[in-house]
Amino acid sequence: MTFKPDAQIDPGKIEDRRGMGRGGGAAIGGGLGTLVVLAIYLLTNGQVSLPAPTGGGGGTGANPSSDVTATCTTGEVANQREDCRIAGYVTSIEEYWSGALEDYQTGDTVLFSDVTETACGTATSQVGPFYCPPDGKIFLDLTFFDQLEADFGAEGGPFAVAYVVAHEYGHHVQNQLGLLESQGGTTGPDGTQVQIELMADCFAGVWAGNAAETGILEPLTEDDIAQALDAAAAVGDDRIQERTQGQVTPDTWTHGSSEQRQQWFRTGYDTADPGECDTSNI
């Protein structure tokens, strides 16, 4: 997957906090690839408070030493730098949803390292990529993608990154549609938490099915889609549980199995229609 070299990328939706704070701290919730913040948000009726880490604090504003805004402006640069690729994906994703969803409100992606403050509380990189509904922002520590390959056996690749970013923007879309205004969430293969996550996977696939039309990316290849499907499988609840606890306990699932996640991403990609992403009857 490559960006069109002359594509104009808007880095203004990237808030770079990397290097602004260091802190240790206990892992929050259930491990890599789990949208812990959203799960807590649903289960606590929107009253989210993440535990603070035991270490230095993280910043909340942009990093004055970052050159993302100045540098990540074209597809040519996005083909060369990981942070610029994130900016390119965000530009394409926002372009698609702005046209597909009436009154769509854009959302920022925050790049951070180790620990940062959010409207959901203090978060560390152990949470994995997540969406915080109260502030409408996606939070991402880029070291997650190294861990995804090293700890969970994903093959990686540029479009594995694109899948993760698009999944989190799927939650941003759900938030604007009022789908996250839940009085609670149930776990299990057909629970409401899994339904929400699989819909976000489907929305990610829908964007992928329309990505070339945004003018930012070259047409996707089967290898691109294979990278996304591989990443989706790597963060399936069954795969994570098998690797971390040696057994699979479906009644505790919050995101869905590897097969479910691949299926719904593929549904979104094949149909390119968000109307096909109703997961309420899985």
- Using one digit for the tens of pLDDT, what is the confidence trace for 67-81? 788 899 999 999 999
Task: Classify 19 as helix, strand or coil.
Answer: coil
**Among 19-23, 211-215, 248-252, which is the least confidently predicted range?**
19-23
Separation of alpha carbons 263 and 265, rounded Å: 6
pLDDT value, residue 53: 36
Q: How far is residue 98's CA from residue 104's CA, in Å, rounded to a whole number? A: 5
Question: By percentage, how much of the chain surpasses pLDDT 70?
Answer: 82
- Confidence band (pLDDT; 50, 70, 90) for 22? very low
pTM of the model: 0.86
β-bridge pairing 130-132 and 14-16:
unpaired
For residues 105 and 124, is the Cβ–Cβ distance under 8 A?
no
Tokens of 254: 């919050």
What is the phi/psi pair of residue 139, to 5°?
Answer: -120, 135
Q: Which of 37-41, 72-76, 198-202 has the lowest mean pLDDT?
A: 37-41
What is the rounded CA–CA span in Å between residue 8 and residue 282?
39
Give per-residue pLDDT as tens, 252-279. 999 999 999 999 999 999 999 999 999 9
The candidate with the shortest Cα–Cα distance to 89, out of 72, 70, 64, is 72
